[in-house]
Amino acid sequence: MSLWDSLGVAWTALRSNLLRSILTTLGIIIGVASVIVLVAVGSGARSEVEKQIASLGSNMLVIFSGSSRVMGRSAGAGTDRPLSEADMTAIREKVAGVAAISGQLNGSGPVVFGNNNWTTTLSGVHADFLSVRDWPVVSGRDFIQQDIRGTAKVAIIGQTVVKQLFQGSDAVGSTIRVKNTPFLVIGVLAIKGPSSFGRDQDDLVLLPMTTARNQILGKSTLTTDQAGQIYIKFDPATDLKDAQEEIEAVMRARRKIQPGAEDDFNVRNLAEFMKARTEVLSTMTYLLAATSITSLIVGGIGIMNIMLVSVTERTREIGLRMAVGGRRRDIMRQFLVEAITLCLIGGLIGTALGVGAASAVASAAQWPVLISPGVILIALAAAGITGVFFGFFPARRAAGLNPIEALRSE
Amino acid sequence: MSAPQAVRDAKPATKQAPGLAAKVLIRAENVAKIYTMGEQTVRALDGVTFEIAEGDFVAIMGTSGSGKSTMMNLIGALDVPTTGTLLIDGRDISKMDADDLAEMRNRSIGFVFQQFNLLARTPALRQVMLPMLYAHPRPVDPEGRARQRLSQVGLGDRLDHHPRQLSGGQQQRVAIARALVNDPKILLADEPTGALDSKTSEEIMGLFSKLNEEGLTVILVTHEADIADYAHRRVTFRDGKIIDDVRQEKRATKHAAAGGAS
């Protein structure tokens, strides 16, 4: 008996019990659909997080002033000692493996070009800022030391600002007014997309640290060498854990923090932070995977159950098939093909539902959803394997029937 | 008339008729079938020896428990003897494994059952094609063959009918067409009229007679004497042994033409 014949027989048998066949495959349908949805959503989320990690910069530590005990210390924020350029110098001198270092002093204010104006984040940065953050410039140029030293009135702007002020046309070479001071746009940043917290990372204007501190963000509270947050990029070979400890030691010494007292600054590895999020995501993915495997198993048991019923109901038919020359392996194959067909049909329906649901999630939640053909293949293979695994026992029972008794059964 | 006619004419007197021109198709030598149920052993067949010649029409008779069904299962290659040898078409089935037995059934034996054993919701043509699914090698034109066999049993116009749309007699004709489709050596019928009224029974038996006249060996298992009358030879079993084996020639000719339409 050819495989094609077996398929024909299986199809006829399944169709003659259509409602039962459909109900039986529900478990498989749900299992496969959930596998596809979770992989699509999960891999979408993961690729998003990976993009964010990349936008944070690799091999990078950042120092904030303030305690890690945010809740306990928030009232005393003003008392925190700000980070300074002297701190940067000390770190550069005393910590091993520092490749580049930059402060970032943040404020906000309006920027104007022609009739357009836009309120955005204004950041004073040092010359190495973009290389520390791994932020490329898509047109124009990066800051150079002279811009900082000479308090140049130059700016590098993000894509959101380009969109708001220049309607997307090339901004390099134009002059914008930042808090009424004219600045020459020397560069435009590549698009980075929203951060993990939903903040628009493209909505900012970068200015030389000196210019920003002295002329734009200038408030009485700023000290003369205040640096905001300090971003430090390390050589690829550097162990960031060691580097972090070294920085903490340097900073504690500079700030004369007594042994046992808490830091009033904070060193973080943002990429590690994000990786932790990825791990949470993986854990969730595993949990969901376990759920879908469970539903595949439950579905498989349903299939096995109904196949056993089918073998019992069709005992006479099996006897007849044996009487007219069906070998055990023909009978075995017939029932296996039937179980596998049932599972694969469930798999196909589940795939359709899963792809539909994933697409719905994608458009509803603005969440990136990746549906790869590989996932569909894996889901279908899982359904097929379920069929083989749970179809085997009923098929073997059918093939093991004694033809004489089978023919005589009611 | 034809050769089968001659065979029949040659035989009436002898008891174990093989001799003459006819080839021996089935030879049972001291065949026993013993079932063990717990501590009890049941000798369903207890040392049976006989021969059936090609082209014969044999009725196997006996009451329930006489061993006739067991004999039928052995002749049908559904089972193998516990001891003794049983040659069917020159091959000893007592030495066969399950696959060989299946092949033997597929090629050499056509089964007709009391309850027809047709597949539900399957058109007649597909029913008849079933044995060819398991044939190696596959016949060239299975559908054409099935169609031809259905015409042979007078159902050439019922190819697409499902069992439910057919009368009992018609269903049994489909089953007979199915039994014939692989050109078997033996047509083995187990109480083929047991579920039919007497008029339909006559028609079916007429069909068997006609097939036998065309040269097919027919073995009929029955407990009804008037059905056994159609056969040329009557073998009676009791307690696992043959107690009677006689040649007869009564009704066969009369009903020979009552069968199929072809």
B3 CA: distance to closest CA in chain A (Å) = 29
| Residue A271 clears pLDDT 80, i.e. is over it | no
pLDDT category, A7, cuts 50, 70, 90?
confident
Selected residue of B80, B121, B130 to mutate for chain A interface (largest A Cβ count, 10 A) = B130
b/e burial code for range A110-124 (CB count within 10 A of at least 16 → b): ebebeeeebebbbbb
Considering only CB atoms, A325 lies closest to which of B79, B121, B131, namely B131
How far is B38 from A376, CA to CA, in rounded Å? 54
A1 CA: distance to closest CA in chain B (Å) = 5
Would you say B76 and A301 are in contact if contact means Cβ atoms under 8 Å apart? no
How far is A190 from B6, CA to CA, in rounded Å? 103
Residue B164 at interface with chain A, using a CB cutoff of 8 Å: no
Smallest CA-to-CA distance from A346 within A392, A394, A312, A295 is with: A295
Task: Name the packing angle between helices A328-365 and A18-56 (round to 10°).
Answer: 50
Smallest CA-to-CA distance from A334 within B134, B107, B174 is with: B134
A343: Cα within 13 Å, side-chain hemisphere: 32
> In chain A, what percentage of residues exceed pLDDT 70?
92
Note the pLDDT of residue A199. 76
| Residue B10 clears pLDDT 70, i.e. is over it | no
Smallest CA-to-CA distance from A359 within A347, A350, A368 is with: A368
Phi/psi region, residue B105 (left: phi>0; alpha: psi -120 to 50; beta: rest), is alpha
Would you say B57 and B211 are in contact if contact means Cβ atoms under 8 Å apart? no
The arithmetic mean of pLDDT across residues A251-275, rounded, is 83
Nearest residue of B to residue A17, measured between CA atoms: B121
A338 CA: distance to closest CA in chain B (Å) = 17
Considering only CB atoms, A325 lies closest to which of B105, B113, B122, namely B105
Selected residue of A4, A7, A320 to mutate for chain B interface (largest B Cβ count, 10 A) = A320
pLDDT category, B32, cuts 50, 70, 90?
very high
B51-74 per-position pLDDT tens digit: 999 999 999 999 988 999 999 999
A112-138 per-position pLDDT tens digit: 998 898 999 999 999 999 988 888 899
Between B185 and B1, the more confident residue is B185
Structure tokens at A202: 């493209």
The arithmetic mean of pLDDT across residues A232-252, rounded, is 88
Provide the 3-class DSSP secondary structure of residue A399: helix
- DSSP 8-state symbol, B155: -
| Residue B246 clears pLDDT 80, i.e. is over it | yes
How far is A353 from A61, CA to CA, in rounded Å? 44
- Is the peptide bond between B137 and the residue preceding it cis, with omega within 30 degrees of 0? yes
* Residue A224 main-chain phi, psi, to 5 deg: -70, -25
Note the pLDDT of residue A156. 95
Name beta bridge partners: A230.
A63, A103
The arithmetic mean of pLDDT across residues A192-199, rounded, is 71
> In chain B, what percentage of residues exceed pLDDT 90?
75
Residue B73 at interface with chain A, using a CB cutoff of 8 Å: yes
B192-204 per-position pLDDT tens digit: 999 899 999 999 9
| Residue B103 clears pLDDT 70, i.e. is over it | yes
Q: Are strands B57-61 and B217-221 parallel, antiparallel or unpaired?
A: parallel
Provide the 3-class DSSP secondary structure of residue B183: coil
The arithmetic mean of pLDDT across residues A277-293, rounded, is 77
Task: Lowest mean pLDDT of A132-141, B7-16, B100-109, B133-142, name the range.
Answer: B7-16
> In chain A, what percentage of residues exceed pLDDT 90?
40
Task: Lowest mean pLDDT of A85-94, B20-29, B148-157, name the range.
Answer: B20-29
A363-406 per-position pLDDT tens digit: 887 667 777 788 888 888 988 999 999 999 999 999 999 999 99
Task: Lowest mean pLDDT of A155-159, A234-238, B32-36, B210-214, name the range.
Answer: A234-238
Q: Are strands B217-221 and B40-53 parallel, antiparallel or unpaired?
A: unpaired
A309 CA: distance to closest CA in chain B (Å) = 17
Residue A149 at interface with chain B, using a CB cutoff of 8 Å: no
Provide the 3-class DSSP secondary structure of residue B247: strand
Nearest residue of B to residue A329, measured between CA atoms: B99
ipTM for the whole complex: 0.86
Structure tokens at A392: 């085997």
Would you say A128 and A91 are in contact if contact means Cβ atoms under 8 Å apart? no
Whole-model pTM? 0.69
Considering only CB atoms, B131 lies closest to which of A16, A324, A329, namely A324
Between B5 and A153, the more confident residue is A153
Note the pLDDT of residue B20. 52
Would you say A178 and A117 are in contact if contact means Cβ atoms under 8 Å apart? no
Q: Which helix (H) or strand (E) holds A63?
A: strand A60-65
> In chain B, what percentage of residues exceed pLDDT 70?
87
Note the pLDDT of residue A45. 77
Note the pLDDT of residue B262. 40
How high does pLDDT run on average in chain A? 85
Task: Lowest mean pLDDT of A72-76, A110-114, A351-355, B106-110, name the range.
Answer: A72-76
Would you say B81 and B74 are in contact if contact means Cβ atoms under 8 Å apart? yes
The arithmetic mean of pLDDT across residues A92-97, rounded, is 90
Note the pLDDT of residue B250. 56
B128-158 per-position pLDDT tens digit: 999 999 998 888 899 999 999 999 999 999 9
Residues of A in contact with B130 (CB under 8 A): 320-321, 324
Q: Using the beta-carbon criterion (under 8 Å), do B78 and A403 form an inter-chain contact?
A: yes
Residue B10 at interface with chain A, using a CB cutoff of 8 Å: no
Q: Which helix (H) or strand (E) holds B53?
A: strand B40-53
Burial level of A197, CB count in 10 A (0-12/13-18/19+)? exposed
HEC assignment per residue over A157-183:
ECHHHHHHHHCCCCCCCCEEEECCEEE
